[in-house]
Chains A and B, each alone.
Chain A
Amino acid sequence: DIQMTQSPSSLSASVGDRVTITCRASQSISTYLNWYQQKPGKAPRLLIFGASSLQTGVPSRFSGSGSGTDFTLTISNLHPEDSATYYCQQGYNVPPITFGQGTRLDIK
């Protein structure tokens, strides 16, 4: 199974800041990498698919990059509503589909 490792596990930032979350796969997954946002008590929401494609309706301050084993999610100009937990997920070697452990983002 492909292991997905996110860092950091948590971070705190201010409104207007830019933050970067990284995700590393235990083997190459090309660009079969997706990012999700989850707020407490809610279902996850797809933000980025195929490593860098923005899902319809997602603000352009969210962006993704990377290929192979190393990926990043960048959120520019942080808004208060970006406070959430973010997960990466690989869809390259399935089954199983696997997720990172999550990164909790707090907005000061």
Chain B
Amino acid sequence: QVQLIESGGGVVQPGGSLRLSCAASGFIFNNNGMHWVRQAPGRGLEWVAVASHDGNYQYYLDSVKGRFIVSRDNSKNTLHLQMNSLRPEDTAVYYCAKDYCDGDCYYGFDYWGQGILVTVSS
């Protein structure tokens, strides 16, 4: 069965950095785009970034462009999110999610990780 397991969350000061990872199993990892979606406490869902199935393309939410970097290692079935210059408004549960479209397309998410909390606070 498909499993997505996030790691790397925690508490960081404003301006600091954190790297999230997502270990995937149960599907052919390099078939699908992989996303990060976040949810601030008590708020709705917000898409953050996607890495294309082959890792050649990355797309970002405007508010994280230039600060976050999404990458993937298809040899290790792992997705990463390097978060730099963190702000209090980046505080959220971050979910790793698999796109249900095969190839170079991004439609939606058929599997999600359990989520990991990132808290940006002094």
Which residues of A does B touch, CB under 8 Å?
32, 34, 36, 38, 43-46, 49-50, 55, 87, 89, 91, 94-102
Contact A95 B108, CB 8 Å, known A49-B100, A101-B44, A102-B44:
no
The CA of A90 and the CA of B59, in the complex, are separated in Å by 16
Across the interface, name the chain B residue whose C-beta is closest to A91: B107
Task: Give B20-63 interface residues, CB cut-off 8 Å to A.
Answer: 35, 44-47, 50, 59-62
User: In the complex, A36 Cα to B97 Cα: how many Å?
Assistant: 13
Report whether B112 and A44 are in contact in the complex, using a CB–CB cutoff of 8 Å: yes
- The B interface, classified by DSSP as helix, strand, loop or mixed, is strand
Chain A residues near B113 (CB, 8 Å)? 43
- Interface centre among A99, A100, A101, by most chain B C-beta atoms within 10 angstroms, is A99
Q: Look across to chain A and name the residue whose beta carbon is closest to the beta carbon of B46.
A: A99
